[in-house]
Structure 1
């Protein structure tokens, strides 16, 4: 077993793991500060992740990948972190976040719709003004004075993101379309997708807290729905509507 501390979303987490890969994955977030809480993985956690992966792929009628135990432990660590974070007014969200001129824009959608492709178009369109915060599983903190989105080590298969934070200005639900069109939507129109994309804790109390945090987030940021193609014009249309 090996132990190191990491600062993610302003919380210091002591991580004790079986394999070294976990610590290599999180190295950009390492700190010497005193931990706020700790997580420890076991062989049983790795078995759980393996079974969960098998079940998810079987449900979709696909053959499950043969992930290594050290890779599965990475997922187990983040699951344990995600279970704890609602205590600190934060939660894990499945989406792609890009920062432009100090403001965060979060794109979410059903898997395969093109979140990562769209944020890539923003980077092409805006150049150095656009910085990837996290391309897969950012952490979002809900405060009375605003919503902050944080980069995490868990930033997708292409590892796009960095150790930074930015105020969240808007959330955009992406759908495919031949023509690019973006509209402002109400909380009631976005809520089902927000709930689908948030990490849902197993503990009922933490789940209840998460629902309250989602409500407050949805009331505090602008919400949009974007129908788009994969042309750079989609980024132009979306950015000009959302920048304010």
Structure 2
């Protein structure tokens, strides 16, 4: 068993893993063992049964999607098992695992989400090309979102998609954008009720009733205090300009804060 300490969403986590490759996977978030000692917020331990559960889940998803069953190594599946356990416990710290591509421009965070294969990563790449050094990738796949009364903070994590695009940073969330393919680029603000089904689908949900209830409470709070947009996007360079400019409207929350 290998042990290390990582820091995610401002919390120190002790990870007990089978494979040393898990420590390499989390290297940008590692903390010195001699400094942390017994001082950590939560602890997770991965066993072989957890790895087998990830294999079963992966195979079930492949069957559901009608694609050939993929065969992943135990080392890779362990990283999934680690994040699943972290997500299970993070809800107790008002923090959710969310499936989306998060980018910051001028220090403000924008979170793009959509059904698989729609082009979240492609769209945030357009943002990096359009804004240059003003744009910084937070996480391209599974960021953590901490929900407080002051708003939502997006945190980078090592679980950042096949392109491994992330940074160990945190930014306040400006807006969430639901991405849709279209022939023309257009954006509009939508109600939380309209966006709720997809946002719920993209949020990690525990099977444990109390944790699930807490997840739903946090999701409701996030939607209530965050501007949500729907973007029709043709994946051409001007899509980034249309999306960014469309999300600069002053929100009701911002109006209240300036009074």
CA distances 1:96-126 after superposition (whole Å, capped 9, x unpaired)? 0000111100000000000000000001110
CA distance, structure 1, for counterparts of residue 129 and residue 27 of structure 2: 28
**1:146 offset after TM fit, Å?**
1.3
**1:66 offset after TM fit, Å?**
1.1
CA distance, structure 2, for counterparts of residue 35 and residue 144 of structure 1: 25
CA distance, structure 1, for counterparts of residue 105 and residue 225 of structure 2: 19
CA distance, structure 2, for counterparts of residue 103 and residue 241 of structure 1: 14
Q: Which runs of 5+ in 1 are unaligned?
A: none
Paired residues of 1:83 and 1:202 also in contact (CA < 8 A): no
**TM, length-normalised to structure 1:** 0.99
Match of 1:192 among 197, 205, 212: 197
What do you get for the CA RMSD once the two structures are aligned?
0.7
Identify the residue that residue 121 of structure 1 maps to in structure 2: 126
Matches within 5 A, 1:13-92: 13-31=13-31, 32-33=35-36, 34-92=39-97
CA distances 1:178-233 after superposition (whole Å, capped 9, x unpaired)? 00010000000100010000001121111100000000000111100000101011
CA distance, structure 2, for counterparts of residue 19 and residue 243 of structure 1: 45
Identify the residue that residue 145 of structure 1 maps to in structure 2: 150
CA distances 1:147-200 after superposition (whole Å, capped 9, x unpaired)? 101000101110001100000010000000000010000000100010000001
CA distance, structure 2, for counterparts of residue 17 and residue 46 of structure 1: 11
CA distances 1:76-99 after superposition (whole Å, capped 9, x unpaired)? 000000110110000100000000
Identify the residue that residue 214 of structure 2 maps to in structure 1: 209
**1:132 offset after TM fit, Å?**
0.3
1:157 partner SS: coil
**TM, length-normalised to structure 2:** 0.93
CA distance, structure 2, for counterparts of residue 202 and residue 164 of structure 1: 30
Matches within 5 A, 1:213-232: 213-232=218-237
Task: Tell me which stretches of 4 or more aligned residues in structure 1 moved more than 2 Å.
Answer: none
CA distance, structure 1, for counterparts of residue 52 and residue 121 of structure 2: 30
| Mapped pair 1:169 → 2:174 | yes
Q: Which runs of 5+ in 2 are unaligned?
A: 250-259
Paired residues of 1:177 and 1:229 also in contact (CA < 8 A): yes
**1:243 offset after TM fit, Å?**
2.9
